[in-house]
Structure 1
Amino acid sequence: MQAESYSNPFVTSPVASFRPIAQAERIETVDILRGVALLGILMMNIPVFAMPEYFSKSFRSDTDNVNFWVDAVVTVLFEGKMRALFSMIFGVGILLFTTKKERTGKSVVGLYYRRMGWLILFGLIDAHVLLWSGDILYLYGVCGLLAFLFRNVKPAYLAIGVPLIALIDFTSGTLFYQNMREKLLGYKEAKAAQEHHQTLTEQQKKAMTDWRAIQKEFIPNKAEVAEHTRSMKSNYTTVANYLRPLSWDFQTKYLAYAIWDPLALMLLGMALYKWGYFAGKWPRRRYIQIMLVGYGIGLPLVIFNYYNSYTHFPNVASRLAYMETHAISWMSLIYPFQRILLVMAHASLLILLIQSGAAQRFLKRLAAVGQMAFTNYVMHTVICTFIFFGYGLNYFAELQYYQLFFIVVGIWVLQLIVSPIWLRYFQFGPLEWCWRSLTYWQRQPLRHQETALNA
C-alpha cells in the first residue's frame, strides 16, 4: 500500500487517516542527537555483555592501569549522559508523533498506546529471546505510556516536574538503600549471636535468610561469580536460564524504582522541544552559555564524585561498611545534578557544531544512525551476544576492559557506514518499518517511491 492511500477520503478509520512522519518533516538535529546517544550508550552496555561481576576490582584504584583511565573517561563524560540524552529525545519523539496528528481533531490515544504496546513487546523479545538483560525498550515503552499524559502541559510545568520526579527517584532509591541496610544490620546482629554460640531467634534466622538472598542477587561470592561466568560461556538454553530471571525482576519487581529517571528526562525533552531548543532556534550565545555552565560546574562535580568513589569505595566490603554507618547516601545526590549539567553541555555543543556547518558529511551519517535507532539498538544486542556469549564466539570474560572499546568503535563504524546506505534505498530501518506497520495496522511502503518505480 502506498503512502497516498492514507489521505484517501473514502477511508473512514481514524487510524488509517494518519501517516508516519515524512522524510521532509524530520528534524535533522533530533536525528543527530539520537544517533550520538545511541552510539554512546553502547560504551556503557558492552561491559554488561562482556564482563563478569566485579570486573573492575583489579583496576578500580590502580592509576597505573590503562583500564582505570578508560573507565574514568567513560564514567566522567558518558556514563548516564548518553542514556539521559536518549530519554530526552524519546520525549521529543512523543510530541513529533502526536502533535500534528492531534491538530486534525482526531484522537491519537489508541494509535499511540498501540505504538507503545508494540515497543513493550519488542523489549520483551530483546530481553527474553535475544537475551539482552540491560534492555531499555520495555522500560521506555512503559514510561512512554506515562509521559504521553503530559504532552499538552506547558513546558515550564514540564521542566518543574523534572526536579519533583528526581526527588521521588532519590526517595525511592533511599528507601531501597535503607531496606538493604536494615537487612544488613539484621544479618550482622544474627551473625554476632551465632559466633557467640547463642541460639538464634526466629527473627534472627529470618535476617540471615533475607541477607543471603540479597547477597545472591546483588553481591554474589566468588563461587557464584564463577558459576555465572560458566553459564554465560555455555549454550543458549543455559544463558537464557541465567539471564531471563534477571530481566524479569527488572521488568516487574524493580520497575517502580526504574521508571522515574527516564520519565523525568522524557518530560525535560518535551519541554526543551516546545521551547525550540532541539530545533536550534535559540540564539547561539545561549547554547554557548549552557555549554560553559554545564562543563564548568558539571565536570568538577563528576570528577569529585569519581575520585571519592575510587578512593573510598574500592570494593564491595567498603561499600557495605559505609552502609552500616550511614542511613542515607547523600553523595548520590551529586549524580543527577552533574548528569543533567553535562548532558545539556553535550547537547549544546552538538547543536553548535550542527549550526556551524562543519563536518556535514559525518553529521549526516549520525543522523542516519539516529533515524534507524531502533534497528541499530537491537543490532547492538545481536552483535554483542554473538561475540561474547557461549553460543556465539564465546569471548565473555576473555578481554580486558579497554579492549572492549575496539569492538565498540568497530560497531560504530559499521553502523555509520551501513545506516546511510540503507536509507538511500529505503524510507525506514527494517525494525522501524515493522514498528510503523504494526502501529498503523497497515503495511507501510518501505522503499523510496522513486526506487520502487525504477525497480
Structure 2
Amino acid sequence: MNTSTVGAPASLASHIETSRAGGPVTQTERIQAIDILRGVALLGILMMNIPFFAMADRFSESFRQDPSNINFWVNAVITVLFEGKMRALFSMIFGVGIILFVSRKEQAGQSAISLFFRRMGWLVLFGLIDSHVLLWMGDILYFYGIIGMIAFWFRKIKPGYLALGVLLVAILDNAMAVSFYQNLRDKRLAYVSVEKGQQQGKTLTPAQQQSVKDWQEIQKSFLPNNVETAEHTRLMKSPGYFTVASRFRKEVWDAQTKYLIYGIWDPLALMLLGMALYRWGFVTGQWPRRRYWQAMLAGYGLGLPLVIFSFYYGYSRHIADTEAFIQYMEQHPIIWTNLIYPFQRILLVMAHASLVILLIKSNVLTGLLNRLGAVGQMAFTNYVMHTVICTLVFYGYGLNQYAEWEFYQLYFLVATIWVLQLIVSPIWLRYYQFGPLEWVWRSLTYWQRQPMRRVAQA
C-alpha cells in the first residue's frame, strides 16, 4: 500500500504498518492528511447544521433578499464556500476509511466482512440514538452506516472505474432528486385543481379528498406555512423532552425509511470518489505540489462563478420564500439551477482539499494542523458533542434559546465549539488512544474491550 508522507507535523504520523494484527489502528498507523481533512470537514459541517438546531422554520426568509442585513452576507459566504462541500469532504474521507479498515484486516489474514459489517451495524444504531434519543434531526451516522455497507462492495474496483461509477451514481442521484421534486409538484398541481373545483362549488370525490390530504402532509413536512411554523416553534420551546421529540421524530423516521432511497446516492457517489482519490494518492498528499495548485485554481476558478450565480438565482431573485417556491413549482417541471450544484460542489471541495494539503506539504500552520488532525481523529465523539451542546443550548428542555438568536449570532457559538474541540481533542489524545465514543465503537466492533490509556514509548 503506497502511503508516503506529506512532510507535515511530526506529531501525526503518516505511514502504514501492520502492527497488532487485526486490531484497531494505532497512532503510528494513522495517515495525517486524512485526519486533518476529516477534522476540517467535521468543524465545517457545524456551520450548516447549527441553524437547524437553533432557528425556526423559514428563518432565512426575513433576510434572503436584503443585502443590507448582515445575516444575508453571512448566509451568502457559508452557502457559497461551505454548504454541501464539507459534507462532501466528510463523505469522501469516509470512503477512504472503508479501504483503510478493510485492507488492514485483509493484510492480517482476517475476514474483513464480518468486522466491517458489525462496525457499520453499530454505526446505524448510534445514528438512531443520535436522532431519536439525542434528537438531532440532521443525523448522518445512520445513513453512513447503511451507505457504507453498499460502498464496501466497490472497494477493490480500479480508480478509473470508480470515477466512472461516481458519474453514474451522480446521474442517478440527480434523477432521484428530480423525481422527488416532480412528485411534490404533481401533488401540488392535483391540489390546485381540487381548489379550483371547490371554488366552483363542486363536491369532492374520495380521490380529490386524498389529494388535499397528500398536499397538506407534504406542506407540513417540507413547506410549512406560518401557522405550522409557529406550532413547530412552540413545540421546540417546550420544557418537556417528549414534546420537543414530537416536533420532528416522525419526519426523521420517514427520512430514514420512506425517503431513504432518495438519500443514498449522493453520499455513495462521494464515498466512491474518496476511494478513487485515495488510490490515486490525492488525499494522502502524494501528488506533486504543482498538481495540487492546478486542482485548487481550477476548482476555485470554475466553481466559484457557478455557485455565486446559483446563489443569486435561487436565493435573492426567483425563489425568495416558501410561497414563491410553491409558485415556481407550479410553473416549472424542474429546478434547472440544481443541475449546477454537483459540478460546483465537486470543484470547490477539490479546491478546499488541495488547499489544505498544500498547507500540510508546506509545513505552515503546523500547530493548527496538528489540532485539526486530533479533531478528525476524534470525529465521532466531536460530532455527537455538537448534538449534545446545541440541543442543550437551544431546545426547550435545555436553555431554551430556540428561535431567540439572530442568524449571524449562531456563529459565535460555532467558533466557541471549534476552539473547545481544537483545545480538548489533542489534550485528550495525549493520554488516551481513542476518543470516548471511538473507544466504545471499536470495543463493540472487535467484541473485546480495547486498551484506552496511551502507553508511554521511548
Give the TM-score band, short-chain normalised: over 0.9
Which deviates the most, 214-223 or 399-408?
A: 214-223
Aligned match for 1:164, one of 165, 168, 178: 168
Residue aligning to 1:279: 284
Aligned match for 1:300, one of 302, 305, 311: 305
The residue type paired with residue 158 of structure 2 is K
Count matched residues.
Answer: 437
Answering whether residue 268 of structure 2 is matched by residue 263 of structure 1, we say yes
Residue aligning to 2:71: 67
Shift of 1:126: 0.4
Residue aligning to 1:392: 398
Question: What SS is found at the alignment partner of 1:450?
Answer: coil
Answering whether residue 454 of structure 2 is matched by residue 415 of structure 1, we say no
Residue aligning to 2:409: 403
Shift of 1:428: 0.4
Aligned match for 1:330, one of 329, 332, 336: 336
CA–CA separation in structure 1 for the residues paired with 2:378 and 2:162: 28
Answering whether residue 134 of structure 2 is matched by residue 130 of structure 1, we say yes
Deviation string for 1:176-214 (max 9, x for gaps)? 111111111111111011111122233322222211111
- Structure 1 unaligned residues grouped into runs of 5+: 1-15
User: 8 Å contact 2:236–2:395 — kept in the other structure?
Assistant: yes
Shift of 1:329: 2.0
Question: What SS is found at the alignment partner of 1:376?
Answer: helix
User: 8 Å contact 2:21–2:108 — kept in the other structure?
Assistant: no
Question: What SS is found at the alignment partner of 1:424?
Answer: helix
Answering whether residue 385 of structure 2 is matched by residue 379 of structure 1, we say yes
Residue aligning to 1:106: 110
Deviation string for 1:136-185 (max 9, x for gaps)? 00000001000001111111111111111111111111111111111111
CA–CA separation in structure 1 for the residues paired with 2:23 and 2:377: 17
User: 8 Å contact 2:166–2:272 — kept in the other structure?
Assistant: yes
Shift of 1:103: 2.2
The residue type paired with residue 71 of structure 2 is N
Deviation string for 1:430-451 (max 9, x for gaps)? 0000100000011000001129
Answering whether residue 346 of structure 2 is matched by residue 340 of structure 1, we say yes
Residue aligning to 2:13: none
Answering whether residue 224 of structure 2 is matched by residue 229 of structure 1, we say no
Residue aligning to 1:9: none
CA–CA separation in structure 1 for the residues paired with 2:166 and 2:356: 23
Alignment of 1:169-188 (within 5 A): 169-188=173-192
Aligned match for 1:40, one of 37, 44, 47: 44
Aligned match for 2:325, one of 275, 296, 319: 319
Question: What SS is found at the alignment partner of 2:22?
Answer: coil
User: 8 Å contact 2:22–2:104 — kept in the other structure?
Assistant: no
Deviation string for 1:233-270 (max 9, x for gaps)? 11211111222212111111111000100010000001
Deviation string for 1:61-106 (max 9, x for gaps)? 0010000000000000000000000000000111111112212333
Answering whether residue 456 of structure 2 is matched by residue 450 of structure 1, we say yes
CA–CA separation in structure 1 for the residues paired with 2:284 and 2:38: 13
Answering whether residue 176 of structure 2 is matched by residue 154 of structure 1, we say no
Aligned match for 1:367, one of 368, 373, 377: 373
Which deviates the most, 186-195 or 321-330?
A: 321-330
Answering whether residue 228 of structure 2 is matched by residue 214 of structure 1, we say no
CA–CA separation in structure 2 for the residues paired with 1:52 and 1:208: 25
- Structure 2 unaligned residues grouped into runs of 5+: 1-19
Question: What SS is found at the alignment partner of 2:408?
Answer: helix
Residue aligning to 2:7: none
Deviation string for 1:274-320 (max 9, x for gaps)? 11111110011100000011000000000000000121111112211
| % identity of equivalent residues | 65
TM-score (norm 1): 0.94
CA–CA separation in structure 2 for the residues paired with 1:336 and 1:46: 23
Aligned match for 2:360, one of 327, 342, 354: 354
Deviation string for 1:13-49 (max 9, x for gaps)? xxx9610111001001000000000000000000000
CA–CA separation in structure 1 for the residues paired with 2:28 and 2:109: 23
CA–CA separation in structure 1 for the residues paired with 2:395 and 2:108: 49
CA–CA separation in structure 2 for the residues paired with 1:45 and 1:328: 27
Residue aligning to 2:198: 194
The residue type paired with residue 415 of structure 2 is V
The residue type paired with residue 242 of structure 1 is R
Deviation string for 1:200-232 (max 9, x for gaps)? 233322222211111111122212111111111
The residue type paired with residue 300 of structure 1 is P
Residue aligning to 2:17: none
CA–CA separation in structure 2 for the residues paired with 1:176 and 1:40: 27
CA–CA separation in structure 1 for the residues paired with 2:409 and 2:249: 27
The residue type paired with residue 90 of structure 1 is F
